C-alpha cells in the first residue's frame, strides 16, 4: 500500500533544516541531549538478539565496556565509544571508526528525525531496530564497486538486489559541508524514508539482514560438505518487532545532530496500515450483530466491538460466501485469549476441520500460563497445517491490525504491518499432516468467513472485506 509521508508542518520542516538548535517536534523525545552520549552504547553489525540473550548482569557489563573500554581491540585499535565518538557544539562526531552508537532503548513503530554532515569517502548509515540500514555514502565517486553508490543515499541498501527500497528513487544528497536530513517512518516491517524533502523509499519492506546471512551460510556449508542446499523457506524471518536505533559509521568523519524519535501508538499505526480502503465492504456496524449468522447468542457488541462471551464459543459467520478475498480487521486479546478466523467454512461444523481456520491466540501469554504449542497453533497459523512467524503481537490489551489475503491456494497473513505467513497450500505435503485433522478447506475454493470462538472474550472491530 502506498502512503504519502507527512511528519511535520512545512514550517517545522524548514526549521529543522535551517537551525542547529531546535525545539523537538510535538510528541517526540530527544535521543541526543546535545551534551553527552547518555542513553547510548556501542554495538556493531551484529544481531541484537545476541544482546537480548545475555543475562542482565552480562548485558550491563558489555554496555559498560563498549563505552569505557575493555572489549577486544578491532583492526583500527580500541573499539569503545569514547575512543571514536565525542560531542562538539551540540553535535555528535565520529572519526569513521569503532563501534556504532546504539540506543539503550528498543523501539517498535516510530517516526525518526536525524541530520548528518559527512565528508568524502564516508560509508555510513542508520540501523532500524538493529538492522542495516538506511544507507549514507559518498555519491560523488561514481560506482567503482558496482554497489549503486552513484544512486545516492537513503536506500535500504541491505535489501535484495532489485527489491523495492534497495536503491533510492531519486538522488537527493547535498554537497559536502551541508547538513542532510532523514525523516524515517517504520511501522511493522515497512519503511518510508524522506531524504532532504523527497520520499526516496516509499513503504518498502525492510529485509532481515541476519536471516539472509544465515541462509547463505547454511547453503555454503551444505555445498562445502557436498550436500544439497537446504530448502528455501516460503517466508524468511522478518525484521524484529522492536529493536534499537544505531548510527553506523566508517570511512571518514561524520557529524550528527537533531536526533528525535516519536513512538507511534497502536491506534495510530492501525489507521496508517488501513490506508487504501477502496473496494472494501464493512461487515460490522459497531452496534449489533446484524449481517452475521451462526451462534450469535454467544457473541455481543461491547464498545463497538464484537466480543465472544466469556465461557461461550461457536461460530459467528458472514451472511455471504467468499472465494478470493482480502480481509482486514482489528482485534484485542485477553491474557492467553484464543479465537480463530474461519475461512471457506460451511454453516455447520468446525471451521478448523470443515473449512480453514487462521489461529487467533495470545501466543506468549498461552505459553507462559498453559504450556506448549505446536508450530501450527501459534497466532496467524493455518490451523493443523502451516505455522506462522511469532513475536509480532502487540502487548495484551492493545488493538492489533491484521490482513488476510486469499488468492486460490495462496494465503498471506500480515500482522501489525509484518507478513507472518505466506504459504501455497497446494505445495503442502499432506502425508505429514494428521489425517484425523486435515482440513477439508484445503480442497475448497469458497465458503463463509467469520469467527471460531473458543470461550475467551476476544474482541474484533473494523472488519472489512474485499473480493479479489
Q: What is the pLDDT along the chain (468 residues), one digit of tens a residue?
A: 444 444 443 333 433 434 455 667 788 999 999 999 999 999 999 999 999 999 999 999 999 999 999 898 776 567 899 999 999 999 999 999 999 999 999 999 999 999 999 999 989 999 999 999 999 999 998 888 888 999 999 999 999 999 999 999 999 999 999 999 999 999 999 999 999 999 999 999 999 999 999 999 999 999 999 999 898 899 999 999 999 999 999 889 999 999 999 999 999 999 999 988 889 999 999 999 999 999 999 999 999 999 999 998 899 999 999 999 999 999 999 999 999 999 999 998 888 889 999 999 999 999 999 989 999 999 999 999 999 999 999 999 999 999 999 999 999 999 999 999 999 999 999 888 888 888 888 999 999 999 998 889 999 999 999 999
List the domains of the chain with CATH numbers: 10-264 (2.60.120.560), 271-467 (2.60.120.560)
| Vertex 73 angle, CA 71 and 76, to 5° | 140
| Contact between residue 31 and residue 259 where contact means Cβ atoms under 8 Å apart | yes
- Residue (of 152, 130, 129, 148) closest to 140 by Cα position: 152
pLDDT tens digits for range 94-111 = 999 999 999 999 999 999
| Contact between residue 114 and residue 233 where contact means Cβ atoms under 8 Å apart | no
- Residue (of 309, 286, 415) closest to 362 by Cα position: 415
Task: Please tell me the total number of residues recorded for the chain in this structure.
Answer: 468
Residues forming beta bridges with residue 186, ordered by sequence position: 110, 191
Phi-psi region of 258 (alpha: psi -120 to 50; beta: other; left: phi over 0): left
329 contact partners, CB below 8 Å, separation of at least 6: 401, 402, 460, 461, 462, 463, 464
Distance CA 303, CA 81 (A): 51
pTM of the model: 0.93
Distance CA 224, CA 219 (A): 9
* Torsion from C-alpha of 21, 25, 30, 31, nearest 10 degrees: -110
| Contact between residue 20 and residue 178 where contact means Cβ atoms under 8 Å apart | no
Amino acid at each position: 500500500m502506498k502512503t504519502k509521508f507527512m511528519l511535520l508542518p512545512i514550517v517545522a520542516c524548514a526549521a529543522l533544516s535551517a537551525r542547529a538548535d531546535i525545539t523537538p517536534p510535538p510528541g517526540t523525545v530527544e535521543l541526543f541531549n546535545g551534551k553527552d552520549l547518555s542513553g547510548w552504547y556501542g554495538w556493531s553489525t551484529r544481531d541484537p538478539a545476541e544482546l537480548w540473550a545475555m543475562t542482565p548482569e552480562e548485558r550491563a557489563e558489555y554496555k559498560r565496556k563498549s563505552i569505557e573500554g575493555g572489549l577486544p581491540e578491532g583492526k583500527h585499535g580500541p573499539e569503545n565509544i569514547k575512543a571514536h565518538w565525542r560531542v562538539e557544539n551540540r553535535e555528535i562526531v565520529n572519526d569513521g571508526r569503532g563501534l556504532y552508537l546504539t540506543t539503550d532503548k528498543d523501539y517498535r513503530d516510530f517516526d525518526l528525525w536525524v541530520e548528518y554532515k559527512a565528508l568524502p569517502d564516508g560509508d555510513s548509515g542508520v540501523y532500524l531496530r538493529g538492522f542495516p540500514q538506511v544507507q549514507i555514502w559518498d555519491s560523488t565517486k561514481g560506482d567503482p564497486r558496482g554497489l549503486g553508490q552513484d544512486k545516492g543515499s537513503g536506500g535500504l541498501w541491505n535489501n535484495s538486489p532489485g527489491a523495492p527500497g534497495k536503491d533510492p528513487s531519486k538522488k537527493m544528497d547535498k554537497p559536502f559541508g551541508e547538513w542532510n536530513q532523514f525523516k524515517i517512518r517504520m511501522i511493522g516491517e515497512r519503511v518510508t524514508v524522506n531524504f532532504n524533502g523527497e520520499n526516496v523509499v516509499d513503504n518498502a519492506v525492510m529485509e532481515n539482514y541476519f536471516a539472509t546471512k544465515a541462509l547463505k551460510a547454511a547453503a555454503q556449508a551444505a555445498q562445502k560438505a557436498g550436500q544439497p542446499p537446504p530448502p528455501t523457506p516460503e517466508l524468511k524471518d522478518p525484521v524484529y518487532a522492536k529493536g534499537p536505533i544505531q548510527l553506523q559509521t566508517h570511512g571518514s568523519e561524520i557529524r550528527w545532530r537533531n536526533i528525535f524519535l516519536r513512538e507511534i501508538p497502536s491506534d495510530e499505526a492501525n489507521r496508517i496500515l488501513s490506508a487504501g480502503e477502496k473496494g472494501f465492504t464493512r461487515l460490522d456496524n459497531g452496534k449489533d450483530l446484524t449481517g452475521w449468522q451462526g451462534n450469535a447468542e454467544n457473541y455481543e457488541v461491547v464498545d463497538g466491538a464484537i466480543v465472544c462471551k466469556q465461557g461461550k464459543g461457536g461460530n459467528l459467520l458472514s451472511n455471504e460466501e467468499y472465494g478470493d478475498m482480502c480481509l482486514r480487521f482489528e482485534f484485542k486479546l485477553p491474557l492467553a485469549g484464543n479465537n480463530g478466523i474461519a475461512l471457506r467454512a460451511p454453516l455447520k461444523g468446525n471451521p478448523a476441520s470443515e473449512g480453514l481456520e487462521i489461529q487467533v491466540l495470545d501466543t506468549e501469554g498461552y505459553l507462559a500460563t498453559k504450556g506448549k504449542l505446536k508450530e501450527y497453533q501459534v497466532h496467524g497459523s493455518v490451523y493443523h497445517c502451516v505455522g506462522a512467524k511469532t513475536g509480532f503481537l502487540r502487548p495484551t490489551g492493545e488493538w492489533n491490525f491484521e490482513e488476510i489475503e486469499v488468492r486460490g491456494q495462496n494465503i498471506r497473513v500480515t500482522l501489525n504491518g509484518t507478513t507472518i505467513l505466506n504459504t501455497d497450500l497446494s505445495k503442502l505435503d499432506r502425508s505429514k499432516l494428521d489425517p484425523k485433522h486435515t482440513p477439508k478447506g484445503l480442497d475448497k475454493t469458497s465458503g463463509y468467513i467469520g469467527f471460531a470462538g473458543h470461550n475467551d472474550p476476544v474482541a474484533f472491530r473494523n472488519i472489512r472485506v474485499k473480493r479479489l
